[in-house]
């Protein structure tokens, strides 16, 4: 091998013959006593006095483990409490509770289906309206917006998230409901009446109005998360697409949206989670009537709003227990919807890693 | 077949920084042309002006005439049309991580709505062979993501991606600077083979690389082109003192 072979470390760091005859052993020989004889530099002195840090690392890991476990504990605890307090109604109705439409406190007959329907229908409709809008806002902000406008528009969309839900509800009652009754509703039944989704009397309150207010409420969270995700896509990806002769839209589609799709699904799921649990604004405009109707003008009821509306006046143990089981149903619906969304993400991405370099 | 590029009085700015000053140059068709010079001298800006990537930065602008064949790229065509004719390879490999190797290579074609399966298959094979990557990836074209390859393979895949659209000009902005010597020599071999079919402009920090692959070399310094001549002349008998200082390693 090499003729300049010296120490094993030297050999691994430079397997090639070293052309310049600097004679490192001599250099080392000069260095070694110099370091040993003089006092340590303050930095070396400081660093050498620091311990191995093993104890600190171990205790840090333990604390973090406790934090992680506390999430499981809290979820299990809530689940347990809900089951415990709804055992009366669980025993009385069993699984039928989730599949029957009855809601009759007087005769003590309860079923959660209309509320599950109302929750799912309003949330999904809200997503259908909010996601394209939120994506549009995010794309505009990251890709098209002139720089000086970027901060004000971002700030305004985020401000939407800070408005309390009851204020949204008030606004919806005074603005959205009349608008729905007099303008949007008649227009929809005229143009899309043939689908059967816009039949029946339109009082302004109902599933569609609730979905619209929900859409406005979840818009900021989806758009600001999506914006952050798109900003994180490296510029090299945009340049790669542009250099292939892409138009601006093609660049956004291939270079930005495609790379951030998993993050976008995550943002949509957070929005969906918010929509499923949203109570106050929905309660104010949904009509509060436990019905399953194909028409989106029909009043409905959601799991969250029935609890909010009836909990304080629930008389009788069975009624109270049924309301708590509604809470359990909301809990389960949220879990199932999230699980389905995760499955969808997995199905789309299992062959392609999402990592952006 | 490639086309020649004629550059007249090209000036470019980033904000108020005048990064290119009065560049005049003729890049011959179907040859490799190397651009050398110290960091920040404007070579990258120059190649980015050749496919109008320069102007994707909102604070950047350029003036002057760049003729690609008969077309004045700043006046006769849109940036999108120009970039369809000019392939570009960047300093760092930038594969599309969500696409398979196959989709990465044909992304330029699919982007433009090209859907003929048979021709797509042929193109993938042709361009991966041109990029000397075919043998290494032919068995997992659709199984593996473009990002799962090694750095050198990724860069060759990016070259294949640029070649798949059959460009007339291939711009390479320090294509080997992030790669190890083995990958670098593969890419140099590649340029050597490709230059008979494409007009290649390669920016490099590595003067041996310029000497190995290019017929002509331009030396840039502080936003100006100091000298442009045959590579042999530049490296053996430069006209300008500054060129001589640079290539002999006296500065830069």
Listed by start position, the domains of chain B span 5-247
C-alpha dihedral, A352 to B87 to A147 to A224, nearest 10°: -10
User: Do A30 and A121 belong together in one domain?
Assistant: no
Q: pLDDT tier at A102 (50, 70, 90 boundaries)?
A: confident
B215 vs A22, residue with greater confidence: B215
User: Do A16 and A112 belong together in one domain?
Assistant: no
Q: Give B74-127 pLDDT, tens digit per residue.
A: 988 899 999 999 999 999 999 998 899 999 999 999 988 888 999 999 999 999
**Percent of the residues in chain B that have a pLDDT greater than 90, as a whole number:** 54
Looking at CA atoms only, how far is residue A347 from chain B in angstroms? 14
**Percent of the residues in chain A that have a pLDDT greater than 70, as a whole number:** 87
User: Do A167 and A18 belong together in one domain?
Assistant: no
* pLDDT above 80 (res B62): yes
Range of the domain at A39: 8-48
Q: How confident is the model at residue B58, as a pLDDT?
A: 85
The closest alpha carbon to A301, from A181, A205, A200, belongs to A205
Calpha distance A168→A325 (Å, rounded): 28
| Chain A residues bordering chain B (beta-carbon distance below 8 Å) | 147, 234, 236-247, 250, 254-255, 258-259, 261, 351-357
User: Do A31 and A91 belong together in one domain?
Assistant: no
Residues on chain B touching A241 (C-beta within 8 angstroms): 96, 107, 111
Q: What does the DSSP 8-state code read for residue A316?
A: S
Query: Which of A352, A354, A355 to substitute to test the interface with B, most B CBs within 10 Å?
Result: A352
**In this complex, how many residue pairs, one in chain A and one in chain B, have their CB atoms less than 8 Å apart?**
86
* pLDDT above 50 (res A334): yes
Residue A357 covered by a domain: no
Q: pLDDT tier at A115 (50, 70, 90 boundaries)?
A: very high
3-state secondary structure of A200: coil
CATH number, position A257: 1.10.3720.10
Q: How confident is the model at residue A351, as a pLDDT?
A: 55
Q: Are B58 and A147 within 8 A, CB to CB? A: yes
Calpha distance A8→A2 (Å, rounded): 12
Q: pLDDT tier at A178 (50, 70, 90 boundaries)?
A: very high
Place of tokens 């892409």: A246
Give the domain B5-247 fold.
Rossmann fold (3.40.50)
Q: How confident is the model at residue A194, as a pLDDT?
A: 84
3-state secondary structure of B36: strand
Residues on chain A touching B56 (C-beta within 8 angstroms): 238-239, 242
pTM of the model: 0.80
Q: Are A239 and B90 within 8 A, CB to CB? A: yes
Closest Cβ–Cβ partner in A240, A247, A357 for B80? A247
Calpha distance A184→B195 (Å, rounded): 64
Place of tokens 């720089």: A147
ipTM above 0.85 for this complex:
yes
CB B106 within 8 A of CB A314: no
Q: pLDDT tier at A227 (50, 70, 90 boundaries)?
A: very high
Q: Are B111 and A240 within 8 A, CB to CB? A: no
A34 vs A231, residue with greater confidence: A231
Calpha distance A223→A157 (Å, rounded): 8
Q: What is the mean pLDDT of residues A98-115?
A: 89
3-state secondary structure of A283: helix
Q: Are A254 and B96 within 8 A, CB to CB? A: yes
Q: Give B137-149 pLDDT, tens digit per residue.
A: 989 888 888 888 9
Looking at CA atoms only, how far is residue A113 from chain B in angstroms? 40
Q: What is the mean pLDDT of residues A44-50?
A: 87
Q: Give B163-206 pLDDT, tens digit per residue.
A: 999 899 999 999 888 888 888 888 898 898 888 889 999 999 88
Calpha distance B87→B74 (Å, rounded): 17
CB crowding B112-141: b at 16 or more within 10 Å, else e: eeeeeeeebeebbebbbebbbbbebbeeeb
User: Do A112 and A40 belong together in one domain?
Assistant: no
User: Do A177 and A322 belong together in one domain?
Assistant: yes
Distances (CA, A) of A314 to A82, A172, A321: 16, 27, 9
What does the block give as tokens for A270? 């957070």
Calpha distance B73→A17 (Å, rounded): 51
Residue A299: CB partners within 8 Å, gap ≥ 6? A203, A205, A206, A207, A286, A287, A288, A289, A291
Q: Are B94 and A245 within 8 A, CB to CB? A: no
Looking at CA atoms only, how far is residue A257 from chain B in angstroms? 11
Looking at CA atoms only, how far is residue A236 from chain B in angstroms? 6
Residue A56 covered by a domain: no
Question: Counting beta carbons within 10 angstroms of the beta carbon of residue A236, is it exposed (0 to 12), middle (13 to 18) or buried (19 or more)?
Answer: middle
Question: Counting beta carbons within 10 angstroms of the beta carbon of residue B54, is it exposed (0 to 12), middle (13 to 18) or buried (19 or more)?
Answer: buried
Domains held by chain A: number: 2
User: Do A137 and A39 belong together in one domain?
Assistant: no
Closest Cβ–Cβ partner in A147, A254, A352 for B111? A254
Query: Which of B73, B97, B114, B171 to substitute to test the interface with A, most A CBs within 10 Å?
Result: B97
Q: pLDDT tier at A216 (50, 70, 90 boundaries)?
A: very high
Q: How confident is the model at residue A2, as a pLDDT?
A: 41
């Amino acid at each position: 091998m090499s003729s300049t072979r010296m120490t094993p470390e030297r050999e691994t760091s430079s397997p090639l013959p070293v052309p310049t005859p600097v004679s490192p052993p001599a250099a080392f020989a000069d260095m070694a006593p110099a370091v040993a004889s003089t006092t340590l530099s303050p930095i070396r002195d400081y660093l050498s006095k620091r311990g191995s840090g093993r104890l600190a690392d171990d205790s840090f890991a333990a604390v973090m483990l406790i934090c992680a476990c506390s999430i499981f504990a809290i979820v299990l605890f809530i689940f347990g409490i809900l089951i415990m307090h709804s055992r009366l109604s669980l025993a009385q109705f069993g699984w039928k509770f989730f599949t029957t439409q009855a809601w009759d406190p007087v005769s003590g007959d309860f079923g959660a289906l209309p509320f599950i329907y109302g929750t799912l229908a309003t949330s999904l409709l809200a997503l259908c309206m909010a996601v394209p809008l939120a994506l549009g806002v995010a794309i505009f902000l990251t890709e098209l917006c002139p720089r000086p406008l970027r901060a004000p528009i971002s700030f305004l969309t985020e401000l939407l998230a800070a408005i309390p839900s009851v204020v949204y509800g008030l606004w919806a009652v005074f603005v959205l409901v009349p608008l729905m009754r007099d303008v949007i509703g008649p227009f929809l039944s005229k143009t899309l009446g043939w689908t059967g989704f816009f039949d029946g009397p339109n009082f302004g309150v109902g599933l569609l109005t609730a979905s619209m207010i929900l859409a406005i409420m979840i818009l900021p969270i989806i758009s600001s998360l999506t914006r952050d995700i798109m900003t994180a896509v490296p510029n090299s990806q945009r340049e790669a697409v542009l250099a292939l002769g892409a138009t601006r839209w093609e660049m956004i589609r291939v270079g930005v949206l495609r790379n951030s799709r998993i993050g976008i699904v995550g943002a949509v799921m957070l929005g969906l989670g918010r929509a499923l649990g949203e109570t106050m604004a929905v309660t104010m405009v949904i009509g509060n009537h436990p019905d399953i109707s194909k028409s989106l003008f029909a009043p409905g009821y959601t799991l969250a709003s029935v609890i909010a509306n009836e909990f304080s006046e629930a008389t009788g143990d069975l009624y109270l227990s049924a309301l708590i089981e509604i809470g359990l149903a909301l809990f389960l619906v949220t879990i199932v919807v999230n699980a389905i969304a995760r499955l969808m993400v997995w199905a789309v991405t299992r062959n392609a890693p999402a990592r952006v370099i | 077949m490639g086309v020649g590029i004629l550059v007249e009085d090209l000036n470019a700015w980033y904000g108020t920084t005048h990064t290119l000053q009065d560049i005049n140059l003729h890049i011959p068709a179907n040859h490799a042309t190397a651009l050398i010079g110290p960091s920040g001298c404007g070579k990258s800006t120059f190649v980015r002006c050749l496919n109008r990537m320069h102007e994707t930065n909102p604070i950047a602008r350029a003036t002057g005439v760049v003729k690609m064949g008969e077309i004045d790229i700043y006046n006769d065509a849109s940036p999108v049309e120009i970039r369809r004719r000019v392939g570009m390879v960047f300093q760092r490999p930038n594969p599309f991580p969500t696409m398979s190797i196959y989709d990465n290579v044909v992304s330029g074609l699919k982007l433009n709505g090209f859907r003929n399966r048979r021709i797509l298959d042929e193109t993938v094979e042709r361009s991966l062979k041109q990029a000397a990557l075919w043998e290494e990836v032919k068995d997992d074209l659709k199984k593996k993501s473009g990002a799962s390859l090694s750095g050198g393979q990724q860069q060759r895949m990016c070259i294949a991606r640029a070649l798949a659209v059959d460009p007339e000009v291939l711009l390479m902005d320090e294509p080997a600077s992030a790669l190890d010597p083995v990958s670098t020599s593969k890419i140099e071999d590649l340029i050597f083979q490709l230059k008979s079919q494409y007009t290649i402009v390669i920016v490099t920090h590595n003067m041996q690389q310029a000497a190995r692959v290019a017929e002509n070399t331009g030396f840039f310094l502080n936003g100006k082109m100091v000298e442009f001549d045959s590579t042999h002349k530049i490296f053996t008998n430069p006209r300008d003192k500054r060129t001589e200082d640079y290539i002999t390693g006296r500065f830069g």
